[in-house]
Structure 1
Amino acid sequence: MTTDVITTSIDEQPHELDPNKPLVQVKDLEVSFRTQGGDVHAVRGVNFDIYPGETVAIVGESGSGKSTTATALMNLLPGNGRISGGQVLIEDKDISKLGQRQMAAVRGHVIGYVPQDPMSNLNPVWSVGFQVREAIKANGLAKGRKEVEARAIEVLQQAGLSDAERRMKQFPHQFSGGMRQRVLIGIGLGANPKLLIADEPTSALDVTVQKTILDHIENLTRARNTAVLLITHDLGLAAERASKVIVMHQGKIVEAGPSRAILTDPQHPYTRRLLAAAPSIASQRIGATVSEDAKDEGVIELASIAKDRHEEAEAHAGGAVVKVEDLTKVFSIRRGGFKSEDLTAVDNVSFEVHKGTTMALVGESGSGKTTVARMILGLETPTSGEITVGGTRLDKAQGKELFDVRRRMQPVFQDPYASLDPQRSIGAIIGEPLKVHKVGDAKSRTARVEELLDQVSLPGAIAHRYPNELSGGQRQRVAIARALALKPEVVVLDEAVSALDVLVQAQVLQLLADLQTELGLTYLFITHDLAVVRVIADEVAVMEQGKIVEAGATDEVFANPQQAYTQRLLDAIPGSGLDWAV
């Protein structure tokens, strides 16, 4: 993937600011939300400064208060939220005392914003060009139709879209995730702000796209001397991109300081938990150790999971449970009128997954890895090739034989919010496979559900609750419990931890490793996150444009990649560029 050339307009010269004077001063900030049960204090006594041209990262899990702090800086809290104490000074002006008209002048011109989800933050019924033009008009960046149009094209070009003029007429759904995020970056930086707030700007993107997007932000902000506040839950990404890291937990700052000091010598137990649980950190073997006291506090150390997991797999690996030979999938894509063309999504792919081990299929979005998983699960029909599961050819299996194969192989999908029926109780969701396959009676199914909840470390009382009452991590545990209901041999996990915070992700990875050891499970792990692969997988196959370009033992592929594409994926892991990684 090439990095586009970034240009700076004549009217976007670097900001001339005093480098020794804070651009932003947050003093004893308190943020509260009014609820039916009284006020909820989301941010409590937060203090920090941001200097011109400086990149500061706020890290923490969901609910820690980091995004609320960011929105308070722009005075964009929800209707029931308010700054209930302290001050936010932007260029010595207290934003809580500014009127709507004054605050509108601050947003865009002084503070730019790149929100988290590019799909929900771009209106799907308006063209991309229309939305960029509206932002330019709102910020008063140009007057007259031709000037606004020219400025919109320039903004998108600076954000990395080289064919911006043609792209202006397209709609958000016609853009990839990376392209949509570039549009938001263009809008956020369009008014040449002095501070850019980037709230999880790359959490939904592949590592290579993520690196490109962050490089674009860094190049643009460096050229303009723009300060950056980066909100993230990935400590490796924060350490690589920011000079200063602020760690938030339960609405408070528990630790702050230079990135290197935080990473190599964390002082607070919560920071140690984040550090040990970050796959990007564990995969690079950064030289920070987790003390015995920290382990006693419940710290999950992913590096230890990886070591124990690989030793266990070597001791108990068996014959091939899943065999894929010369697998090909061709889709017919409509091109207007009655015309269509063929798209080869999977091209002559072959691999084996051995009993009791974990095989990871990795690659960028569009590489074909999820299509392979769908064919193995029987959700897509191969154009050609063979899939054998437990000695049974899927293309030859019919009726009861196919039904039995599906019983031996179960999926866990990416989104724990979408993969659970919101209208059914947790007990009914977990017990559904037992009912479909007519396993046992009602009493034995209830007992099996209780056993499964215990296996995934959830209390039995959850069986009577509904998905909307659970956290993301709890929902994914429910999805795993459902997959285990029929005691399968193979579990196919499609991006099963990518939507989770690092602490919850670490808990789920630990759970998967424990269940594999206890039940002798075989995993096929589909992911774009090579940091997670280093922790969980024994074998890895790297896919590019529908083909497997490299495969082998995980440690060997990571230590000695043979293909430039694999090396690019490894280089894009957040934290891989740190000069103190060992």
Structure 2
Amino acid sequence: MSTIDPNTPLLEIKDLEVGFRTQNGLVSAVRGVSLTVMPGETLAIVGESGSGKSTTAAAVINLLPGSGQITGGQILFEGRDLAKLDRREMESVRGRLIGMVPQDPMSNLNPVWNVGFQVEEAIRANGIASKKADVKRRAVQVLREAGLDDAEKRLRQFPHQFSGGMRQRVLIGIGLSADPKLLIADEPTSALDVTVQRKILDHLEKLTSERNTAVIFITHDLGLAAERAENIAVMYRGKVVESGPALEILQNPQHPYTQRLVAAAPSLASRRIQSSVRRHETIEHETQDEVAVVDLVAAAETHAQARRAAASASTVPAIEFTDVTKVFKIRTGSFSSTDFTAVDKVSFSIPRGTTMALVGESGSGKSTAAKLLLKLEEATSGSIKVGGKEIGPMSRKETFSLRSTMQPVFQDPYGSLNPLRNIENTIGEPLQVHGFGDKAARRARVKEVLDQVALPTSVLTRYPNELSGGQRQRVAIARALSLKPEIVVLDEAVSALDVLVQAQILNLLADLQAELGLTYLFITHDLAVVRVIADNVCVMRKGQIVESATTDEVFDNPRDPYTQELLAAIPGANIALGA
């Protein structure tokens, strides 16, 4: 236990300056940031991608990228300036005193080592246990605390055998393994469904109250931050523009940027949908961003009416699953394996030009269903039709042609973008592979989709590791849109985006659908987004569909207990927004 005075800050950042060396000189990323974290306090740092949130956190434990450096200010942890520590001294702080849960699981888990080895390695490195049996026992315990009930079985599996949410839970377990005094959680639940999100964040709150552990919680969702933190700091372009008690900032934001975040927060916006639609004719007293929320809802309803009309004119569904089953072989030893049914007799259809949301917890089979549709995995049994044509027996040539009209956006942008290709080549690759125009035409199309996803042309020469998590996901979306496909499979496509860009992307998707008649399979754990974007919803649990209905029916009258649980877990549900 710390002997520090509970009235003395555990962490005090004073006038922090961080810059990155580039060919054009030093570029400032964090400018004069000052923050204070008291023992046992939860501080949420909120802002859009590129605002400096993660850079500030990385500076605290000296994990800035190679070109990054602290150029000014102090980082005082229990009175000691971390900015002045050498490498060995800093290694004694990381993990043991300050834990870290990074945003991107695939870039922080080694794909060639099983999960158990990596968790146990952290336990040994932090001096928690040394004997083999004790290390394994602690590894199982921390994974259970992070939400993996079958932790002992999962230790033998590799990261690629986990869903995105399950990989993130492994990182959470590693971050908590040494019971640190301060935990830095950088978007720790962006890849998790709402029920597991609540479980993880409840666990973090338990640590704060029982062990006096402080938490720095980095997020782009101001509603989630206000629900989980005592204090909030809002960052914009490398600066803290507003800070104070969470509820005060949520209910009475002063800075214009904070007001925009409050208006766009998905966990809060979904609660305003019905009342916003009712007030659409009398919005003269609302702020500009509140009007934008109303307009988004109204536009979504207009697009939905057009989609329903178009769908009724076509009798052949764009996508049709009939009793589809996928069974994987899971190794249990050197010469033995067991069957794992990831998708169990799933049936659904998606009318042309409409959006169906596939919702469920991590590991429920949502992403596996998407991979079966894209022919990245072959179904064990059942039928999958696209445009009325069975895709199972398709030849390689037919599959290649099919993929030109059906493009994916995966959950993990870092894992799906080639780190050796710059952004222009990444977005333009599908155009080149499918023979779209000449070099000039391809370049023009790349710039066009880059603008659609709100990225400047200056990123064309940059590489994925030089972009924030949200920026990488926007690149992945631009890549999928480049061929103007008929069907887009969106696997957690907006989960890594800040709320303002998320609203832009949802508007973009709706506009493209209305203009081009696109069909979307929208896989997500964010029910707030579902209500805005989807026409129909299928709820999956343990490989099966437990409820299927229109979006309004699912939200207004959920029948299955699991669906009711998902709706009850939407963050921000208990926060009073006021008038």
Give the TM-score, by structure 1 length.
Answer: 0.80
Is 2:524 aligned against 1:527?
Answer: yes
**How far does residue 266 in structure 1 lie from its aligned partner after superposition?**
2.3
- The answer to whether the aligner puts 1:311 opposite 2:302 as a matched pair is yes
CA–CA separation in structure 2 for the residues paired with 1:107 and 1:452? 41
State the partner residue of 2:214: 227
Q: Secondary structure at the match of 1:22?
A: coil
CA 1:453 to 1:90, structure 2 compared with 1: closer, same or farther past 3 Å? closer
SS in 1 for 2:175: helix
Q: Which structure would you say has the larger Rg? A: 1
The aligned residue for residue 515 of structure 1 is: 512
* Aligned residues of 2:352 and 2:518 also touching (Cα < 8 A): yes
2:59 is the alignment partner of 1:72: yes
Q: Matches of residues 456-535 of structure 1 in structure 2 within 5 Å?
A: 457=451, 468=463, 471-472=471-472, 475-484=475-484, 488=486, 490-535=487-532
Amino acid at match of 1:242: A
Aligned to 1:351: 348
Summarize the Cα distance change of 1:19–1:542 in structure 2 as closer, same or farther, 3 Å threshold. Answer: same
Partner of 2:323: 327
Percent identical among aligned pairs is 57
Q: Is structure 2 residue 353 aligned with structure 1 residue 362?
A: no
The alignment yields a C-alpha RMSD, in angstroms, of 4.3
1:271 aligns with 258
Shift in CA distance, 94/377, structure 1 to aligned 2, threshold 3 Å: closer
1:385 Cα shift?
4.3
Distance 1:308 1:28 in 2: 44
Where does residue 575 of structure 1 map in the other structure? 572
Q: Which shifted more, 508-517 or 315-324?
A: 315-324
Q: Residues 472 and 302 of structure 1: is their aligned pair in 2 closer, same or farther, counting only changes over 3 Å?
A: farther
Q: Which residue of 2 aligns with 1:283?
A: 270
Structure 1, unaligned stretches of length 5 or more?
Answer: 1-11, 437-441
Opposite residue 330 of structure 1, the aligned amino acid is: K
Q: CA deviation at 1:55?
A: 0.5
Residues 164 and 411 in structure 2, CA contact (< 8 A), matched pair in contact too: no
Deviation at 1:346, TM superposition (A): 3.0
CA distance in 1, matches of 2:400, 2:21: 52
* Post-superposition CA distance 1:449-470 (Å, at most 9, x none): 8579657745999699568488
The alignment status of 1:261 with 2:248, answered yes or no, reads yes
Is the 2:116–2:156 Cα contact (8 Å) retained in structure 1? yes
Cα displacement string for residues 7-33 of structure 1 (whole angstroms, at most 9, x for unaligned residues): xxxxx7xx5654433222222222233
Aligned counterparts of 2:261 and 2:376: Cα–Cα separation in 1: 37
Q: Distance in 1 between matches of 2:106 and 2:301?
A: 38
C-alpha separation in 2, matches of 1:376 and 1:128: 28
Shift of 1:203: 2.4
Give 1:252 shift: 0.2
- When structure 1 is superposed on structure 2, of 22-31 and 170-179 the one drifting more is 170-179
The answer to whether the 8 A contact 1:139-1:191 is kept is yes
Q: State the one-letter code of the partner of 2:200.
A: I
Asked if 1 retains the 8 angstrom alpha-carbon contact of 2:360 and 2:524, the reply is yes
**Following the alignment from structure 1 to structure 2, what is the Cα–Cα distance between the partners of residues 42 and 464?**
16
- The letter for the 2-side match of 1:435 is G
Alpha-carbon distance change, 511 to 337 in structure 1, aligned in 2, over 3 angstroms: same
- Aligned with 2:572: secondary structure? coil
After the TM superposition, which of the residue ranges 40-49 and 81-90 deviates more from structure 2?
81-90
* Deviation of the 1:56 alpha carbon: 0.4
Q: Helix, strand or coil for the counterpart of 1:271?
A: helix
TM-score (norm 2): 0.80
Quote how far apart the aligned CAs of 1:294 are: 6.0
Aligned residues of 1:426 and 1:463 also touching (Cα < 8 A) = no
Which shows bigger deviation, 245-254 or 122-131? Answer: 122-131
Cα drift, residue 217 of structure 1:
1.9
Which residue number in structure 2 is paired with residue 204 of structure 1?
A: 191
1:38-437 equivalence runs, <5 A: 38-100=25-87, 102-125=89-112, 131-132=118-119, 134-136=121-123, 138-141=125-128, 180-285=167-272, 295=288, 301-302=292-293, 304-317=295-308, 318=310, 319=312, 320=315, 321-322=317-318, 324=320, 326-331=322-327, 333=329, 335=331, 342-392=339-389, 394=391, 409-414=406-411, 422=421, 425=425, 428-429=428-429, 431-432=431-432, 435=435
Q: Deviations over 1:57-110 (max 9, x none)?
A: 001122211122112223444454433222222223333344555544444444
Q: Structure 1 pair 334/139, CA: closer, same or farther in 2 (3 Å)?
A: closer
Alpha-carbon displacement from aligned partner over 1:98-125 (angstroms, at most 9, x marks no partner): 4555544444444332333344334455
CA distance in 2, matches of 1:136, 1:350: 44
Aligned residues: 558
Structure 1 contact 269–294 (Cα < 8 Å) conserved: no
Deviating more after overlay: 49-58 vs 135-144: 135-144
Structure 1 residue 361, shift from structure 2 partner: 1.6
Q: CA deviation at 1:507?
A: 1.6
